[in-house]
Amino acid sequence: RKEVEQDPGPFNVPEGATVAFNCTYSNSASQSFFWYRQDCRKEPKLLMSVYSSGNEDGRFTAQLNRASQYISLLIRDSKLSDSATYLCVVEDSSYKLIFGSGTRLLVRP
Amino acid sequence: SAVISQKPSRDICQRGTSLTIQCQVDSQVTMMFWYRQQPGQSLTLIATANQGSEATYESGFVIDKFPISRPNLTFSTLTVSNMSPEDSSIYLCSVEDRAGGSGNTIYFGEGSWLTVV
């Protein structure tokens, strides 16, 4: 079983739609969680950290469920510019970051 | 966040040769890392570049293949030695920022795209 698992997609949605991605992790001792965004042929960039209480940044909402060991990312009112690959990242108990393989989002006009 | 510059940004290399990638950060950082992202795959940590001592390599990566230097707190190099087509990948330098208090946040350089022919 992979340490961090994501649905690879692609998720193909119209502009304005709401879309949600889930990510599961295997190590219950994981401490910190993040979502990164990676555009085609670009480096990953931090989108947001994920806190136990959940957090929101504009159109983006991240949730953490420790009991079920999954993390979610919700994007509301999708824009064309949201098209990218979204990487789920988990910090393990030795402070090493483990990257998921990413979920690809395509927002169409 | 720190500004991270990598070079070369891309290169096409002959099989059997070696290439050194440079990573320059605009501020002193404690932790620097090298990642690899093969086509269609996620990121895999190669090693942690330690200032003034040998790098710490992850399972599956060895110093003879990926020698790393870290002469100071703002600079590191990764060499990909005796390259084969399987080494075609993007290689990413990254630094850790704990200033936000939200754990181990990593920022990346723009990456070096290597194609081995």
Decide if A43 touches B, using CB distance below 8 A.
yes
Residue B92 forms contact with A (CB below 8 Å): yes
Q: Give the span between the Cα atoms of A54 and A63, in whole angstroms.
A: 4
Q: What is the pLDDT of residue B106?
A: 82
A102:B109 CB<8 A? no
Q: Which of B7, B9, B42 to mutate: most A Cβ within 10 Å?
A: B42
Confidence at residue A97, expressed as pLDDT on a 0 to 100 scale? 87
| Residue numbers in B near A44 (CB within 8 A) | 43, 92, 108
pLDDT of residue B98: 62
**Rounded to 5°, angle at Cα B3 from B41 and B96:** 60
What does the alpha-carbon distance between residue B33 and residue B47 come to, in Å, rounded to a whole number? Answer: 6
- Å from B66 to nearest chain A CA? 19
Helices and strands (DSSP H and E) totals, chain B: 0, 11
- Looking at beta carbons, which residues of chain A come within 8 Å of B32? none
The verdict on a CB contact (< 8 Å) between B102 and A45 is no
Shortest CA distance from B113: residue in chain A: A41
For residue A39, what is the nearest residue in chain B, using CA coordinates? Answer: B110
User: Looking at the complex, does the CB of residue A34 fall below 8 Å from at least one CB of chain B?
Assistant: yes
Beta bridge partners of A72: A22, A63
- How far CA A21 is from CA of A12, A76, B6, B35, B78, in Å, comes to 12, 12, 31, 24, 34
In the prediction, which pLDDT does A17 show?
97
Divide the 117 residues of chain B into consecutive groups of 10 and give the mean pLDDT of each group.
91 97 93 91 92 92 97 96 96 80 74 96
CA distance A99 to chain B (A): 6
Q: Does residue B45 belong to the interface with chain A, where contact is any CB pair within 8 Å?
A: yes
On chain A, the residues whose CB falls within 8 A of the CB of B43 are: 44, 87, 99
Query: A25 and A70 in contact (C-beta within 8 Å)?
Result: yes
The predicted-structure confidence for A10-60, as pLDDT tens digits, reads as follows 999 999 999 999 999 998 888 889 999 999 888 999 999 998 888 999 999
b/e map of A88-106 (b: 16 or more CB within 10 Å)? bbbbbeeeebbbbbbbbbe
Q: Strands B112-116 and B10-13, how do they pair?
A: parallel
Give the percent of chain A with pLDDT over 90.
Answer: 78
At residue B97, the pLDDT reads 72
pLDDT of residue A41: 84
Smallest Cα–Cα separation from B29: which of B104, B115, B81? B104
pLDDT for the residue numbered B99: 55
Write the pLDDT tens digit of every residue in A68-100: 999 999 999 999 999 999 999 998 877 788 999
pLDDT of residue B96: 84
